[in-house]
A and B are shown apart, each in its own frame.
Chain A
């Protein structure tokens, strides 16, 4: 049904999105924890920064990544020399761009979940001898699990659709950075590519829909596991 290059684009998309959301999860949790603290200084500014990718043109983010992490930029050169990590024109770079673009979805979902936790439960845990880190792992994180899972899946689905930041930062290299949206774009640009574009577009729609449904299902299931509602 799909050609070899189309399958390649699909698998690449799944890989880049998977790496992007899983790698950014710890950061998302830390940011959500920080933002859920009422007394945090400059909370408004941090909140705005985290949510900036939602409103910023993706091309701008791609451009910023290119000038800061390009091979000749100081940071990019340092990464290449020290870790041998090259981000520009690689799938790792695409994953980084996707991660930044979809971070707001994760942070938002996790933060709402954390804010929904009854602080009296944490007080009870403290009287039972649990310190702050212990309380986070034994109470907060399990109770925030529905939000974490829903955030992960939503971010994953959104990441599958990322176009502007990826094409600007890591270009459109078959087998390396040509994800599903880029493959659709390429098919539309090529003469006689209409059928391929239609197939890939249908696939993208199906994937996005499946992602949203999965997020819904996982959220409900996790809520049940954490005892938030009656089964």
Chain B
């Protein structure tokens, strides 16, 4: 089953014209800066906005088609939405909020399923409270539960973390990861945060100024040097998938295998053998033309220079091929010249363990 979107919508100052298809399975991200049209696109999929032109289909069912004059109202789409501002109903208790969608659903979650969802989100204790007595993180979890209990066939998360401060975000993230791994529900995740997208999503659609700039698996998109202006120079970097060889412990570092190489990273909270995704920022990768000893950096990884792209200013972006996996590095043009490296040269990527962020860990 796929979600296919091809819509045009005009605003006074801005034209949205986008077409993309993502499998309705796992997590797909709509990524883009604010004003890129990602929320408009998501509300059109939910049925809250009728696009001026175009077609939206989920599997075989056409949700909206301007040519055939078809528009399925939001209430019949069975698409759950979680919004940045939670939109809990202030006059209803948490329990009544949770049951609002379930009571209107043709196939509501049965009691066991309901209990499982409440436990997964850790909201069983909140049922008697009023929304204005919830913390930001609690309200976000209740909003998630409310959408899930309405038994949707697609869940849209529209910047669900954007209104939360960093500690609250860190609190919600594991729930979203559990949701991804346990709910078996396709999720469309709308976000402007690369960190969130690389942690949660399998595929991403990159939006810019109302158009689709790129789409594909997260690893592939993140390895593209030409998308740096959109993914943000500071945050840009490759996302690599690997298998945990040793998750490490308190003081022992973890080892992750990818493409026949081993990466030493900070301790992980997953079991050995788990598939994991790591994001390595381009600005955290050094390049050496020989395997140097006497470094504090734990990772010196053999690679080949696959692409060099000159940037504005004194910098170059480099794509390294490490046995089939891409790594990105950002160095100065001066350093590149001194090292005498060019496309096809053998080189070594030097990465400090402390710079590697845990991007995502999923049990597949």
Contact = CB atoms under 8 A, between A and B. Distances in A.
A59 interface: no
A198 interface: no
Given A138-B100, A227-B131, A125 B79 contact: no
B73 interface: yes
A123 B91 contact: no
A130 B104 contact: yes
Contacts of A230: 132
A142 B91 contact: yes
Interface in B288-318: none
B48 A225 contact: no
A126 B91 contact: no
Interface stretch (B82-90, B163-171, B234-242, B355-363): B82-90
A84 interface: no
Contacts of A228: 90
B130 interface: yes
Contacts of B343: none
B75 A126 contact: yes
A123 B76 CA distance: 13
B219 to A, nearest CB: 32
B236 to A, nearest CB: 33
A226 B85 contact: no
Contacts of B150: 128-129
A143 B101 contact: no
Helix, strand, loop or mixed for chain A's interface?
Answer: helix
Interface in B62-78: 73-78
B262 interface: no
Most buried by B among A124, A145, A225, A226: A124
A75 interface: no
B146 interface: yes
A19 to B, nearest CB: 29
Nearest to A229: B132
B48 A127 contact: yes
Interface string A111-139: 00000001011011111111100100011
Contacts of A130: 75, 100, 104
B48 A143 contact: no
Contacts of A143: 90-91
A121 B87 CA distance: 6
B46 interface: yes
B105 A129 contact: yes
A142 B48 CA distance: 23
Given A126-B74, A127-B81, A139 B89 contact: yes
Given A121-B89, A127-B74, 12 more contacts: A118-B87, A125-B89, A126-B47, A126-B48, A128-B146, A128-B147, A129-B78, A129-B105, A129-B150, A134-B104, A226-B90, A227-B91
25 contacts: A123-B87, A124-B83, A125-B100, A126-B47, A127-B47, A127-B48, A127-B147, A128-B104, A129-B75, A129-B105, A130-B100, A131-B75, A134-B104, A138-B100, A139-B89, A142-B91, A143-B90, A143-B91, A145-B91, A226-B91, A227-B90, A227-B130, A227-B131, A227-B132, A228-B90
Interface of B: 46-48, 73-81, 83, 85, 87, 89-91, 100-101, 104-105, 130-132, 146-147, 150
Q: Top 3 nearest A-B pairs by Cβ distance?
A: A128-B101, A129-B104, A227-B90
